[in-house]
Structure 1
Amino acid sequence: MSGISLKKARIIIRKAMDAGNAAGMKPLSVVVLDAGGHVIAFERSDGAAPGRFAIAQGKAYGTVMLGMAGKAQMARAEAQAYFMAAVNGVYGGQVIPVPGGVLVRDKRGTVLGAVGVTGDTSDNDAAAALAGIEAAGLLGEA
């Protein structure tokens, strides 16, 4: 498998939003990025704030660029704030180091990209992302 296809990206988004709805989460926004950090697909639920794209993208972008899930990034930011500040400088302020950025791998462990979800608590965002990734037959690392 060479990457996340548009078909798989759409499955991830649909199933992440379904999981959010089923759990009673606030309106979600979901982005899927390829291994180079480029957007494959994005959707924002009805009622989600218009600025949510940048947050979802920032969660996913930091994840794929660092090869480190959102929870690990947050722990690193808490332990070494200067490092994450420097990383954010390198990437033009596009990194949001919190849960909700989930690394996507194939069954062999190859990184295919990342998913960013925003709209509810960061932990709930990550749970919705994982549900979408798993529904697409891929592996997520939150």
Structure 2
Amino acid sequence: MSSPTLKQANAIIEGVLSARRDAKIKPLAVVVLDASGNVVAAQREDNASMFRMDIALGKAWGAAAMGCSSRALGNRAKDNPAFFTTLAATAKGRFLPQTGAVLLLGDDGAILGAVGASGGTGEEDEACCIKGIEVAGMKTQAV
């Protein structure tokens, strides 16, 4: 399994931030992880509010760990809150099943990592992540 390169991760982040500016969303923090949950690249825009980086990381980490978008995780958490509370505790706060992170996929569909953002609504964060991945010429799954 390969991982996103630093160059690819930075291209994704620039695409996410460009989409944010185009949509006039509040400043974001963006995190690109490899499939093992390691940070490849991360940025916090000027004036992004407190906790944005932590929230973006938690969304992306959960997506990478569970192999699906953070939106899907949030939906699953509604049906099984005790399990997801236990997951969050086990992950020492790195697991956040809230809309705003999507998987980063290879050409063969293998999971390369995840991209998470925080600063707008969950839907806005997610849309910016998808756009950033597309702008970088990479793939994600349908949400």
TM-score bracket for the superposition, by shorter chain length: over 0.9
CA displacement at 1:94 relative to structure 2: 1.2
Structure 2 residue ranges without an equivalent (≥5): none
Secondary structure class of the residue paired with 2:140: strand
CA displacement at 1:23 relative to structure 2: 0.5
Which residue of structure 2 aligns with residue 31 of structure 1? 31
Please give the residue correspondences for 1:14-93 in structure 2 after superposition, counting only pairs within 5 Å: 14-93=14-93
CA displacement at 1:83 relative to structure 2: 1.3
Q: Distance in 2 between matches of 1:86 and 1:67?
A: 18
Q: Distance in 1 between matches of 2:51 and 2:124?
A: 19
Secondary structure class of the residue paired with 2:86: helix
- TM-score for the superposition, normalised by structure 1: 0.96
Q: Is 1:125 aligned with 2:125?
A: yes
Q: Distance in 2 between matches of 1:85 and 1:134?
A: 32
Q: Is 1:109 aligned with 2:106?
A: no
Amino acid at match of 2:110: T
CA displacement at 1:58 relative to structure 2: 0.2
Amino acid at match of 1:8: Q
Which residue of structure 1 aligns with residue 7 of structure 2? 7
Amino acid at match of 1:104: L
CA displacement at 1:82 relative to structure 2: 0.9
CA displacement at 1:51 relative to structure 2: 2.1
**Mean CA deviation greater in 108-117 or 81-90:** 81-90
- TM-score for the superposition, normalised by structure 2: 0.95
Secondary structure class of the residue paired with 1:97: coil
Q: How many residues were matched structurally?
A: 142
CA displacement at 1:100 relative to structure 2: 0.7
- Which 4+ runs in 1 deviate beyond 4 A? none
Amino acid at match of 1:62: G
Q: Distance in 1 between matches of 2:16 and 2:140?
A: 12
User: What is the identity percentage for the equivalent residue pairs of Structure 1 and Structure 2?
Assistant: 39
Structure 1 residue ranges without an equivalent (≥5): none
Deviations 1:48-76 (A, max 9, x none): 02421111100000000111211110101
Q: Distance in 1 between matches of 2:26 and 2:53?
A: 15
CA displacement at 1:40 relative to structure 2: 0.7
